[in-house]
Amino acid sequence: MRELSLNVLDIAQNSISAKASLIEIEVSQSTADNELLIGIYDNGKGMTQEQVQSVIDPFFTTRTTRKVGLGIPLFKMAAEMTGGSLEIESEVGVGTRVRATFKTDHVDFTPIGDLTSTVVILITMNLHTDFLYRRRLDEREFTVDTRQLKEILGDVPLNEPSIVSWLTDFIKENTKQLTEV
């Protein structure tokens, strides 16, 4: 994957397949520590310990559960290449938490890329799933919660073209504000 935001899009599909009603995406960056944390947390059907192990192993996985495939191994590789790591916590019936950490000053660090695009696609293509997107840069934080947006919108869907462009600009502008002095 050329951007970490593409990994996020990919990993979040697993949460959707797991029938999550709420998916939380956390992207938290610390300039002082040169660290980046990407978390995808869901309340889907969860996995057993054996399933968690098989998800991490690309060769085992592709031959048994086609549903999962290379997504997690690619994301894990992107994290480990920088000296970071990936961990998965999961419980059947409760949900799954995938957390990857990256060292941003490492030469092999993959750029975050267009996270706005990832979040907008996830939100507008999965109207029955709620998303909580948390973007943190040092002390500053910005969040989007589709439960709040849906409350405002009532029966107007989030994929209505005018709403999609508002959402895109809303996320872009707020993200930009995080970096401004």
CB of 89 to another protein, least distance (A): 22
Q: Angle at CA 164, nearest 5°, toward 144 and 8?
A: 55
The region of 36-44, 48-56, 96-104, 160-168 touching another protein under the rule CB under 8 A is 160-168
By CB under 8 A, residue 166 contacts another protein:
yes
Give the three-class secondary structure for 133. Answer: strand
By CB under 8 A, residue 111 contacts another protein:
no
**What Cα–Cα distance (Å) separates residue 132 from each residue in 12, 25, 76, 104, 149?**
12, 6, 23, 24, 11
CB atoms under 10 Å from CB of 55, counted, come to 24
The region of 28-36, 43-51, 92-100, 111-119 touching another protein under the rule CB under 8 A is 111-119
Q: Which of 117, 136, 175, 178 binds another protein (CB under 8 A)?
A: 117
Nearest residue (CB) to another protein, 50 versus 151: 151
Nearest residue (CB) to another protein, 93 versus 154: 154
By CB under 8 A, residue 173 contacts another protein:
yes
Q: CA torsion sign, 76 to 79 to 80 to 86?
A: negative
By CB under 8 A, residue 81 contacts another protein:
no
**Sheet strand arrangement including 140-145:** 85-91, 95-103, 35-42, 22-30, 130-137, 140-145
Residue 3 pairs with which residues in a beta bridge? Answer: none
The region of 19-27, 67-75, 95-103, 134-142 touching another protein under the rule CB under 8 A is 67-75
